[in-house]
């Protein structure tokens, strides 16, 4: 299987071109489920960067108009198998997860305000990794190192990557963009 990770594990897998294909298929399901509700859907995270090793979970960011009603989005995404987790510790972000039949996590969905800080930071980081193979290689090395030390500590693994991400985003944008917390 090209995607899926059992809960409680941190595994960084070699890049798989099937990740882009899975995103495209999932995006099509999302667009159909939204039934015309405005949402820009982007592939983000390491699986969106060709050649980059990643946890085999497809990260998706949906950008919705900032003042739009949340209910149609929650109904649409839960209707295609996502579990809604609310902000899940990050104000301004609505978080959804999707698992396969074995219980392996396959997708993360971050629904945020279109053009808000969360939107800008995620796209800036993804685009920087896509544009600069050296930065992507440094990030891959960091992820492999952290995964070897924190193989069962997903929260610590994610937190330990933050300084690197902050630096890349600041360099990409030429200024600091506040993280959503």
Q: Report residues of the chain scoring pLDDT below 50.
A: 1, 181
**Residue 12: which of 121, 158, 137, 147 has the closest Cα?**
147
Q: What pLDDT sits at residue 117? A: 92
Q: Can you list the domains of the chain with their CATH numbers? A: 18-173 (3.30.460.10)
Token digits of residue 31: 């667009």
What was the pLDDT predicted at 181?
A: 46
Number of CB atoms found within 10 A of residue 173's CB: 14
Contact 169, 139 (CB under 8 A): no
Q: Which residue has the tokens 């149609």?
A: 72
DSSP result, 146-167: HHHH-TT-HHHHHHHHHHHHHH
Measured distance CA(84)–CA(98) in Å, rounded: 9
Q: Look-up: residue for tokens 């039934």?
A: 35
Helix (H) or strand (E) holding 9: none
Strands in 28-144 per DSSP E: 40-44, 58-64, 83-86, 93-99, 105-113
**Bridge partners, residue 63, by sequence:** 40, 112
Position 177 scores a pLDDT of: 66
pLDDT digit string, tens, across residues 142-169: 999 998 887 667 778 888 999 999 999 9
Is the CB of residue 106 less than 8 Å from the CB of residue 4?
yes
105 φ, ψ to 5°? -70, 125
The reported pLDDT for the residue numbered 1 is: 47
Give the residue among 15, 14, 29 at the shortest CA–CA distance from 107: 29
């Amino acid at each position: 299987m090209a995607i899926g990770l059992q809960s409680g594990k941190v595994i960084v897998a070699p890049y798989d071109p099937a990740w882009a294909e899975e995103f495209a298929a999932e995006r099509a399901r999302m667009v159909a489920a939204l039934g015309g509700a405005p949402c820009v859907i982007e592939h983000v995270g390491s699986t969106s960067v060709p050649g980059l090793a990643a946890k085999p979970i497809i990260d998706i960011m949906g950008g919705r108009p900032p003042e739009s009603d949340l209910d149609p989005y929650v109904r649409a995404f839960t209707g295609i198998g996502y579990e809604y987790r609310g902000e899940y510790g990050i104000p301004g972000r609505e978080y959804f997860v999707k698992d396969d039949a074995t219980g392996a996590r396959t997708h993360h969905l971050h629904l945020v305000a279109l053009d808000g800080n969360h939107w800008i930071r995620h796209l800036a980081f993804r685009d920087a990794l896509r544009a600069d193979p050296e930065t992507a290689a440094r990030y891959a090395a960091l992820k492999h190192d952290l995964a070897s030390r924190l193989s069962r500590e997903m929260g610590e693994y994610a937190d330990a990557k933050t300084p690197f991400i902050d630096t890349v985003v600041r360099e990409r944008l030429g200024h600091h963009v506040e993280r959503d917390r």
